Amino acid sequence: MAKDEKTSKDVASKASEQLKDEKSTPDQKSVAGSALTQTPDKKNK
């Protein structure tokens, strides 16, 4: 992945849902965690 590529808000939201879902497999949670680590940082006001 290039340095400037980031996970979209929609994908990050779905990844968050996967991490919270008790039925998600460890592999699914691993992929979801990876996606969340690539989300843009929130800007402070």
Q: What is the pLDDT of residues 1-45, one digit of tens each?
A: 556 678 888 999 999 999 999 999 999 999 999 998 887 777 776
pTM exceeds 0.85: no
Q: Can you give the pLDDT at residue 40?
A: 75
Q: Can you give the pLDDT at residue 22?
A: 95
Q: Can you give the pLDDT at residue 45?
A: 65
Q: Can you give the pLDDT at residue 29?
A: 95
**Distance (Å, rounded) from C-alpha 14 to C-alpha 8?**
10
Residue 8 near residue 37, CB atoms below 8 Å: no
